[in-house]
Every structure is written in structure tokens, then in C-alpha cells.
Copies of this chain bind each other. A is one copy, B any other.
Amino acid sequence: MELGVVGLGRMGANIVRRLQRAGHRCVVYDAHPEPVQALVKEGATGAGSLAELAKHLAAPRAVWVMVPAGPVTDRVVEDLAGVLDRGDVVIDGGNTYYHDDLRHQARLAEVGVDLVDCGTSGGVWGLERGYCLMVGGPDEQVQRLAPIFSALAPGVEAAPRTPGRSGEPSPEEQGWLHCGPCGAGHFVKMVHNGIEYGMMAAIAEGLNILKHADAGTQAGDADAETAPMERPELYRYRIDTAKVAEVWRRGSVIGSWLLDLTAQALFESPDLSDLAGRVSDSGEGRWTSIAAIEEGVPAPVLTAALYARFASRDLDNFANRVLSAMRRQFGGHQERPA
């Protein structure tokens, strides 16, 4: 079928490519002309504005938006409200907060346009692997868009079928799912990323414990400010973490794509010495923890993973100075130099 695509960054451009490979026709627009021209060479129809994009599409139109979440998405939604018509649909494939989906839905409804929110996982690998799609919105529009979702999803053959499942593969087996009404897609994607934070932290903490398995060999800190080890002889291992990450990829319980990537990163740079360890977070991890708190359910692992990222960027510094200050007050303890 025919799809407009707005936003041709890393993700957007590859979505166009994967759709075109599957025989769909794309009309593409980006604030910068270069990515438009690049995709035109690959068979897409280029547009110089959203109005032009709308003209190149037959009604009822479907326009996939793939731009940064927040103000940029707000603006594109507002602009599309001005050029689309009753019965058209906007698919927001970005990392929009589901709170904003509800706002966007209301705005588009004023002009009779529907919103479908689509959480898109797959990163820079999606062109080859396909994208895992978590979709929210009205039934009719999601059904109409099924060929698009099918083309972008990895397909059932991307993993062995779950034992017991048989017959025609359901959408979720192909890698896309209609999760519920407006916002449900981004809600599920948000939690997916929350889980991602937790799984990443689990691997990272474990490798750090292995990295410090030689802690008992270090010259004794006879310092009163440091707890001595009870049995230093138990911590004399020098573990090759790159090899360990590799060995865990086959046959172990923790086999996972994140582990594959970790093994690759450590193979390329065993000490990761080109990195400082200032770990960014891009919103979904925060929103997942907020959702847990507002629902009243515990998420200690997911939130610990989030907080570790904040601490990696030294946002705990004032708290730590308060702690050192208390220790100085009650025990006369001075801070040890680094």
C-alpha cells in the first residue's frame, strides 16, 4: 500500500527501505533535503513539504511520523492536522510518551484524523532484523495498516515458534501487536524499554563483579576509612570478561540479544577504555518507573537500573557530600582522597 513517511533519520530511512523492499510505495519528507534525495534514488517519492506529501497520497492517507519525541513530534502533529483530511491516519512511530498520544489524538480528532501510536524497537539493526512493533489505536485503522506492520515486523521465522502455537501465525508471532486503544502501543514500548534498562544493568553489574574478582590482591587498605576484606584469598581471580560474555551466548540461561551486543563490544575493546561511563537515559526508563509508582506496584529492579544511570552522571554528588559531612560530624572522619 501507500504510506507517507515524515522524518528520515536513521530509523525513518530504514523503515522506508524495508517497506519498499516489501513492495510498498513511500512518499517521504524530511526537514533536510539530503535524506529525501537519497531515498528518491532508491525509488521513493520525495516531497518538499507536508502539504506536498499530502498531495502525493490518495485518500484515505496514512502518514508515518518518525521524529524525536517531544516538541518536534508536537509540531509535526500540529502541521499534519493542517494538511490532512477526515479519515486519514497519522502513525507516530517514535518514542512519544503515551501521555502525549492522548493529547495528539484529541488534536487530530478535531479535523477527523485518527492517531495510531506505534512503539518501534530494533534500533539501527531493524532494516535487516525487522522491527518489533507495539501498536495502539482504533481497530479499523490498525486493521487497514496491517500490511505495513507485517512488512516492518521480523516475521514468524525470526524465532522458533513457541511450543503449542500452530496454524496461521498471529500478528504477535510475526512481531507486531495491536495492544489496545490510543497510547497502548507506546505504553507497552515504554515498559519494554524499562525491562531493557533492567536487563542491561543485570549484565553490566555481573560483569563488574567479575572485573573486580581480583579485589583481594590489592595492597591492603589498612585505612580506618575502608572496610578490610574478611577473606581476601577468595578474591584473586583475573577474569577475562570478553571471553565470559562470549561463552554465555551459547547454551546458558541468560542468552539474549543484549548479551550478543555486549560480547561484540568487549571483543572489540576488552576494557572499553574509550568510554567514560556516563550513561544516558532517553525517557522511557523514567516513565516506566513513574508508571509503576502511580499504579502502586513495586519495580525495584527497573528503578535501580534507572538510578544507576543517574549516578553514573554524578547526579548523586550533593547527596554524597551530605553523607561525608555527617560522617565528619559524628565521627571526625575525613574523606579519603581519590
Contact = CB atoms under 8 A, between A and B. Distances in A.
Nearest to A279: B323
Q: Say how many copies of this protein the assembly contains.
A: 4
Given A125-B330, A272-B325, A293-B303, 13 more contacts: A164-B268, A197-B202, A199-B254, A205-B292, A205-B319, A256-B258, A258-B330, A261-B326, A265-B322, A280-B333, A280-B335, A289-B303, A298-B310
A115 interface: no
Interface stretch (A34-42, A50-58, A78-86, A167-175): A167-175
12 contacts: A162-B260, A164-B264, A170-B246, A173-B246, A175-B247, A179-B237, A194-B209, A195-B206, A258-B326, A277-B323, A279-B324, A296-B315
B294 A300 contact: no
Contacts of A327: 279-280
A5 to B, nearest CB: 19
Given A251-B153, A256-B199, A315 B298 contact: yes
Contacts of A29: none
A122 B251 contact: yes
Interface in A305-329: 305-329
A264 B163 contact: yes
Contacts of A250: 130, 132, 153-156, 158-159, 173-175
Contacts of A309: 320, 323
A145 interface: no
Interface residues of A, number: 172
10 A-B pairs closest in CB distance: A198-B202, A256-B256, A277-B320, A298-B307, A227-B283, A132-B252, A132-B251, A175-B250, A265-B325, A208-B319
B310 A183 contact: no
B280 A226 contact: yes
Nearest to A215: B295
Contacts of A318: 204, 207-208, 211-212, 272, 277
Contacts of A198: 198-199, 201-202, 205-206, 301
B278 A324 contact: yes
Contact of A176 (B204, B247, B289): B247
A219 interface: no
Interface in A45-89: 68, 70-71
A322 B272 contact: yes
B230 A97 contact: yes
A228 interface: yes
Contacts of A295: 209, 212-213, 215, 235
Contacts of A187: 210, 213, 237, 239
